[in-house]
Chain A
């Protein structure tokens, strides 16, 4: 293990924002390397500002470090200028706490938040001085592991990662490290450790599964080897209220994307929007007690000095005791001059007085996500929002002085017609008209309705996992329809790039035959693909051609209900029968009520060993 402190001194003043590379932030945990048994490099495959905003990393960092003999450090992807200097000077990737190089750590763990970060994972392994392929790394350590939402279909990077951690990491991470420590002491081989690890619930060792294919390219079967389980079940925390929560965060010097205290109020989602992967893979729905959340928030603010705390979850307005919680929190946040932020708030459920006291509404613009322009299309995706609700929320906002509204939509949804596309603009127009017909609209100001349109990407473990993605040609055609439908200068349309979405669709539902393509794309320069400035579609097209991959096979093909998906041997709670049922309903324009209203029998309650509610 080598310390790079002195090497860094020679380059840090030459790079943008050197504070991203120095560590030493408040709350960062430094231990004596002589006194720890396991060293864990927690790698976020994106730049510091993005990674430091991520709650899961903060939780697992604090959790691991709470064990005296384990030391978890943070590692982020260096930006281009820093990477170039590191490569020129032969400085390997290092942990921010110790400034020791991570190549000889016990664990290197990645969190996979989005598919476009896959090449950054390879690049970081390479910067650490390691072989990128699992089979070329023979030593027991470092064990290269990965978790996070994209681990639900990890096949496109199965060749590079030794094992994947499925589901919530609070318990299983420590079990894995405990097992490793035993194996290290016994002098086990890497192979033996992986065999034993595969017996821990939630651990998926891809090299222990053999995949066979039909001549048409679809999967014929997946066979476990050496005693690995046929199906790997994800892990969840059953009693969310009792789960470990950090009392302190690492407080960055430079501003992160989300730079504030965060407390988690619930996991899972009751809504069941059919396009939303997070809504399914984090099931079942579990809440924390209001007291616990309030205590977590107060402790964190005291220890970090943050003047803002956010209540985070997939849908915070579904928290059953939100109003009492806010009232309790306001008793200390107001005297301490701390703002409460509610990132995913439905404004209409609350009293005006309470809303005025929380920060979310102090912003000058309001965002709302109808996701689709017509009621039929919203029924298909099970987004249970009506036009009246959209307009009512906008009316409340306008009456409260807002003149800026941002509406989020998706393009290329299953069964979408040109009429549905035009419907997006028609809805935006109704919002504009609403503004001008209001008797008490804000005086002397115009309205601005910003329509933001993303391309739909079908994801595993959603009812749309069977669906083809619209071709790029068709998406471009639909983007043109959008622009041509606009009649008012008060409406601004912004859409996301379709090549990125296309590649995302390929990787999201890819199988392990994509591994060589991912490696090729990385070797030809892909590394921070999440950033438009660095992304080049040509590199991926070249890689696909060289590796003999038909990208459309993955992105634009309809899967039959019988087809074996690359992720079918992984279990995230929701059953395939449920996904098929939901898919059929979608094609009949039929909606499914949310979980609190009526259990749709998705199967996730098996993980709880009982019903989700009551």
Chain B
């Protein structure tokens, strides 16, 4: 197992533009095909129907863009890391860009936090008003949010798991920087919190853009 972990390459890539509407499952298949096109010496599963095996440390919600995605796979031969990046970029579809490759250091379980940049546009209300309302809503001692999972629904108090780092309102546009719990044990999508706010207050954005800007470990260092 240790050996397997050591030979795993982790490629960091961006997901920008219209490709944000491609689900995690479809990105998975897209990545396998990209690796196939790249002709990199990627390890295939054994057996009757051999295929490329990839893992993603932290799946991205549908509709989000990201500056810090990662994908892991195993190489069967030594390849310079910059070449891995270049060869993937040559075959990626529009909106996917690799920018760094290195042997994987941490396990996905090390992930604790993620940072997001959010832009919201309001057709009806001034952004200032939305910002004020959101600030007050977040200032309550508890922030109960209904979270749907495969196992069912449960209410989570996101107060300890969600914080607004920065908020800026201008005309009808609201900019937010947010840090939220991330990882396999508890993952809070910022839009879940914003949607709850919108449902409770009636202040809903007419358009929004969410970009994941960082994935962090427990010590707030970039996931490696």
Contact = CB atoms under 8 A, between A and B. Distances in A.
Interface in B26-84: 26-27, 29-30, 32-37, 39, 44, 48-51, 62-63
A513 B84 CA distance: 63
A477 B20 CA distance: 53
B95 interface: yes
Contacts of A10: 206-207
Given A254-B26, A337-B44, A302 B207 contact: no
Interface in B75-118: 91-95
B221 interface: no
Contacts of B44: 337
B19 interface: yes
Interface stretch (A18-26, A53-61, A368-376, A571-579): A18-26
Interface size class of A (residues with CB under 8 A): 20 to 34
B63 A303 contact: no
A19 B33 contact: no
Contacts of A255: 26, 29
A27 B33 CA distance: 12
Contacts of B49: 339
B17 interface: yes
Contacts of B207: 6, 9-10
A12 interface: yes
A534 interface: no
A28 B18 CA distance: 13
A339 B49 CA distance: 9
A9 to B, nearest CB: 6
Nearest to B37: A305
A307 interface: yes
A337 B51 contact: yes
A337 to B, nearest CB: 5
B23 interface: yes
B149 to A, nearest CB: 19
A26 B22 CA distance: 12
A23 B63 CA distance: 14
A1 interface: no
Most interface-central of B23, B35, B48 (chain A CB within 10 A): B23
Contacts of A23: 18
Interface string A12-48: 1100001101111111101000000000000000000
Contacts of A339: 49
Nearest to B19: A24
A16 to B, nearest CB: 11
Contacts of A21: 21
A6 B36 CA distance: 33
B50 A26 contact: no
A32 to B, nearest CB: 15
The 3 closest A-B pairs by CB, nearest first: A305-B33, A305-B36, A26-B93
Interface of A: 5-6, 9-10, 12-13, 18-19, 21-28, 30, 251, 253-255, 302-307, 337, 339, 362
24 contacts: A5-B18, A9-B207, A9-B209, A19-B21, A19-B22, A19-B23, A21-B21, A22-B18, A24-B18, A24-B95, A26-B33, A26-B34, A28-B94, A251-B30, A251-B33, A253-B26, A253-B27, A254-B22, A254-B23, A255-B29, A302-B39, A306-B33, A307-B33, A307-B36
Interface of B: 17-19, 21-23, 26-27, 29-30, 32-37, 39, 44, 48-51, 62-63, 91-95, 206-207, 209
Given A26-B93, A303-B37, 12 more contacts: A9-B207, A10-B206, A12-B63, A13-B62, A18-B21, A251-B33, A253-B26, A253-B27, A254-B22, A255-B29, A305-B36, A306-B36
